[in-house]
Amino acid sequence: MLKVLNPTAGPARGTSGVAPRLATLDGKTLGVIWNGRAYGDRILSEVLDLLKQRYRVRDVLFREKPFLGNIAPEPLLAEIAARADAAITGVGD
């Protein structure tokens, strides 16, 4: 018989994960961060058009990251966090 050790590490603090979902987008402001990949702005615009058809979205903050390979700058994240009710972002590849 032999005892061996589990080599993995899970999330340490539970600080990553899915944010609480909104019940509706009616009357909400959406933050959108385009990572800069070609045509990503067009796809996101299409998505926003669909959302606007289904919900009475109050406003949209459309922002672009300076570079897709880097985390969005702190001021951009702070603006989205302060002014938007929900945010759409992702790697997008």
Partner 1 sequence: MSDVPLAAEQIDVEDVFAAIELYHERGWTDGLPVVPPTEKRVRALLDAAGLAPARVLGEIPERDRVITAEHLAINAAMAGCLPAYMPVLAAAVEAITDPAYRFNHMASLGSPWPLFIVNGPLARALRFNSGLYLFGPAARANATCARAISLLLWNCAEARPDGIQRGQWGNPFRAVGFIAEDESTAWDPLHVVLGHPRETTTVTAISLYPGFQQLHCARSTPEGLLDTVVDAISTDEFFRGTYTLFVSPQHVAVFVAHGWTKRHVRDYLWERCGRSVADLKRRGTWGVMADKPAGFADVARDVLPGDETRFVHLFKPNEYDRFMQATGALERGADIYVVVGGGNAGIRMAYVVPYGVSTDPVTKPVRAAAPTG
- Residues engaged in binding partner 1 (CB under 8 A): 1-9, 11-16, 36, 38-39, 41, 66-67, 69-71, 91, 93
Q: Which residues does 24 contact at the CB level (< 8 Å), separation at least 6?
A: 55
Minimum separation from the CB atom of position 37 to partner 1 (A):
10
Q: Which residues does 58 contact at the CB level (< 8 Å), separation at least 6?
A: 27, 28, 29
Q: What's the rounded Cα separation, in Å, for the pair 58 and 12?
A: 37
What the block records as the tokens of 74 is 């702190």
Minimum separation from the CB atom of position 80 to partner 1 (A):
16
Minimum separation from the CB atom of position 85 to partner 1 (A):
23
**Looking at beta carbons only, is 23 or 38 nearer to partner 1?**
38
**Looking at beta carbons only, is 28 or 34 nearer to partner 1?**
34
